[in-house]
Amino acid sequence: MVSLRFPFSFSQPSGHPPRYRNSRPCSVAKVAVVAVAAAAGATAAYASSQNPISQHPFLHNALNFLFSSANSLPLWGSLSLADSSQPVTEPRTGASFPSALGDSQKLCGVGIRKKSILGLKNIDVYAFGVYADDNDIKKLLAEKYGKFSGSELKGKKDFIEDLMENDICVTVRLQIVYGKLSIRSVRSAFEESVGSRLQKFGGSDNKELLQRFTSQFKDEYKIPRGSVIHLSRDRDHVLRTSIEGEEVGSIQSKLLCRSILDLYIGEEPFDKKAKEDVELKLASYLQK
Ligand code: DAO
Ligand code: DAO
């Protein structure tokens, strides 16, 4: 169940993917924390059975090292998940994004979704980060695009087209910035944004699909500032939505996945700079 109120926090404890239910996830992180914790536990047991430890300087130092490492377990965990990279902060909103989700979805770009209110003012609704599975990218796109530099790939329509069409695991992580979002305004905003894409890519009769998507979001949910929402395209074009790590629904539809991704990396993205960053980053993964 999704709790009704989420705490305010922009610094999320980890980039772990949420629990999976009925969709086939992309690969899940193998975190070394358990092994480190076990080692620290074993050492603690040894330490308590031996005395006085301080008479053995080597052992003493080794224990100090292990205990101080155990104290910084979250750091070890995040380092192993994120290939030692630091989180990225979206500068305007201060929202922080882990550099990886799981062990293979890597952050490719961050940006902002704005919305104009009655043509009078523009509000920042949420910051977002786009993640893509670098193994899928290499497997499915390297042969065709590996020879291009970042600047050559930027703006290449068929590259983005292939990214959207292929079975590549992608997650868009949203961090809510606007403090007064009601579910009603969320629903009507995505009826407009996602609805227009469903029409563009799938033709006229997509009311039922939009309805299935929006009906996942119950009126009682609250998404205050700081809430984290994941929109993930899993294997076989399953769109899985989670709020604060809790899955709220999954729908298998290539058209819906494509329409959602189009908001961020399509022809008229919410944030052009974010899309360019995604293209450049993907080019670097292709060349690795
Ligand atoms: O309070 O009327 C208002 C402004 C609401 C703007 C809503 C934009 C919603 C955008 C979708 C957010 C998805 C999480
Ligand atoms: O920004 O216009 C947009 C569309 C974003 C789609 C976001 C859908 C997820 C909304 C979750 C709401 C949960 C109550």
Residue type for position 218: K
pLDDT in tens, the chain (288 residues): 444 444 444 444 444 444 444 456 675 443 333 343 444 444 334 333 333 333 444 444 443 443 333 333 333 333 333 344 899 999 999 999 999 999 889 999 999 999 998 888 999 999 999 999 999 999 999 999 998 888 888 878 899 999 999 999 999 999 999 999 988 888 889 889 999 999 999 987 888 999 999 888 888 888 999 999 999 999 999 999 999 999 999 999 999 999 999 999 999 999 999 999 999 999 988 887
Distances in whole angstroms, Cα of residue 56 to Cα of each of 50, 63, 93: 11, 11, 51
- Measured from the Cα of 180, ligand 1's closest atom is 1
Q: Is 127 in the pocket of ligand 1 (CB under 6 A)?
A: no
Element at 256 (helix H, strand E): helix 254-265
Separation of 223 CA from ligand 1 center, angstroms? 11
Distance CA 10, CA 29 (A): 22
Q: Is 193 in the pocket of ligand 1 (CB under 6 A)?
A: no
Residues linked to residue 230 through DSSP beta bridges, in sequence order: 173, 242
- Measured from the Cα of 192, ligand 2's closest atom is 2
Separation of 57 CA from ligand 2 center, angstroms? 57
pLDDT of residue 155: 78
Residues lining ligand 2, CB < 6 A? 113, 183, 186, 189-190, 193-194, 217, 221, 223, 229, 241, 243, 263
Angle at alpha carbon of residue 281, lines to 241 and 149, rounded to 5°: 140
Helix intervals (H) in the chain: 33-49, 57-71, 73-81, 134-145, 150-153, 157-165, 183-202, 207-214, 254-265, 272-287
Q: Is 185 in the pocket of ligand 1 (CB under 6 A)?
A: yes
- Nearest listed ligand to the Cα of residue 179: 1
Using DSSP's 3-state secondary structure scheme, residue 187 falls into helix
Residue 132 DSSP label? E
- Measured from the Cα of 218, ligand 2's closest atom is 14
Cβ(155)–Cβ(266) below 8 Å:
no
Mutate to test the pocket of ligand 2, among 122, 190, 259 (most ligand atoms within 8 A of CB): 190
Q: Phi-psi bin for 102: left (phi > 0), alpha (psi -120 to 50), beta?
A: left
